[in-house]
Structure 1
Amino acid sequence: MTVRPADTQLVSVTDRLNVALGELGLIVVGKQAPLKLALACLLARGHLLIEDIPGVGKSTLAQALASTLGLQYARIQFTSDLLPADVLGVSIFDPVSHVFRFHAGPIFHAVVLADEINRAPPKTQSALLEAMEERQVSIDGQTRPLPAPFFVIATQNPAEQIGAYPLPESQLDRFLMAIELGYPDPDAERELLISGDRRIRIPTLAPCADAATLLAWQDETAAVHVAPALLDYVQALLAASRSSSETGSLQGLHRGLSPRAGLLLVAAARAWALLEGRPMVLPEDIHAVFPAVAGLVVQLMQ
């Protein structure tokens, strides 16, 4: 069979993405499925929420992803005394030039880790709202664009832990996916115990891409074809969720999935199809991303 040029390009993109996944797997051991979901979330121009206990590799995943893709990275440790200016930046008066000069905060990076985001009060959490939705921030009456690509990975500890604030619905709505890492399997855990902390290897990772390349990959993701029959399938899933919420047959779902959830599902499925090397979305792509997208919606309803 003759391969069309477009298909050849798709294979090249998929191969490079698989190389990136392989590099990530050297740092975050035994977590291939969460790593693939994280990369799919980035390709779909979304933001990722990771909820899990401390010590399972949430922040390591974020740092390794940025290093593997050659993107600027910043980590913001959210605490109870963190202020919005600590995230966005602040204007400071320059006594020499007699003008206020803006000093950009850590939000002005391509990959931003909002670590333990639910340990900060809602006022500070809200500092991310405009950035995540509009990919810009408004400070001192001036709008400043954020880098492209721009990807927020937020981690949160379980809500029952001391000192945790629940994320408001407006904040949760900015995320495309919510995932958990969980404990490693016995083989992966033994490998970690033998080799030690993998974070020290992150600076040695060879970047598989750069910002311009990733933007091209995101365009490639948006071009993945979704057939009308697949849209029928997505609509059927949305309708089934609404029916289940009325009968209580779907655990944790108290109201049906919204049209916005359908848009998120299609975007995530496109990214998953690209990672699988396909120019079109298949039902199995929907199945692969549905728990991560729907899991976020369930959090919104709790």
Structure 2
Amino acid sequence: MNRILLAHAAAAGAALSAGAAVVATRFVIGETDPLSLVFYRYLVAVFCFAPFLPMLWPRGGLTAAECARIAMFGILFFVLFPWAFNASLELNPAARGAVGLATIPIQTLLVAAAFGRERLSKAKIAGVLLAFGGIVVAFGTAAFANGSGSYLRGDGLMLLGVLCAAVYSVFSRPTLMRHGPLFVTALGMAFAVAALLPVLAFKAGGALLPSFSARGWLAVLFLGTVAGTLQFSLFMLALRWLPPTTTVLYLTLNPIAAMVLGIVVLGEGLTAELVAGMVLVLAGITVGSGMRTGSAKPAAAEP
């Protein structure tokens, strides 16, 4: 019972941290490009994980197949997803990006159901639709005020990134169960950084030292620590004990948290749309997750 409650708390904490990450990304994205920001963010996170990786290493070691699986998951979730997310925010307003990001529980539910990893239920469908409706209510006016034709490329990138996150959420659970969420997160990030290193070196002509402003460095450090090491550790912990759709349903708190943070930090106005959207999102999470402490069980390990 306590484990499941902690998993719900971890999912909520990860989503709130991700909301702060959106604000930090907006601070620094003008000083670099989407792929470079992904690299430096997870390089910081890998340095945070490095002292603990030997202690987390499985006693029996890893087979080549297991290493390949974790590497594939790492590239999918720590390279393709954040790159598409960052690139989308370069092209589209943040509000429109928030609506695209809110499709993650819908895509996860469809992927899980299509491959028999999770059973569709009326509660899950209702919860997903309520949460998505909340994001549309909160951000719809700002997202669609200027039409859609000029934003189609950004929309496509966001939906592609969300699909990567959905596939990861559905298929990574057995690996998380076998080796533990912290180890899989740390090693997956390390593989992602290793995959990006030659790409960035070629792109920069061998010069990898970034030239961020003081504010940019603070944003990158925040993205790598609180919104990197901590955020993804919490997300993986939740994903280990909760169904994929329930875990990602909490991510609809992400844009709401970012908007609330904008009100607190930047003095932006509180709108009726935000309040109504927040109520719908919270209702969706409550309905979709069931909030029954005994309703979720960890996934069985892969053969």
TM superposition score category, shorter chain reference: under 0.3
TM-score, normalised to structure 1, is 0.28
Q: Could you say which structure has the higher helix fraction?
A: 2
TM-score, normalised to structure 2, is 0.28
Greater relative contact order (Cα < 8 A, sep 6+): 2
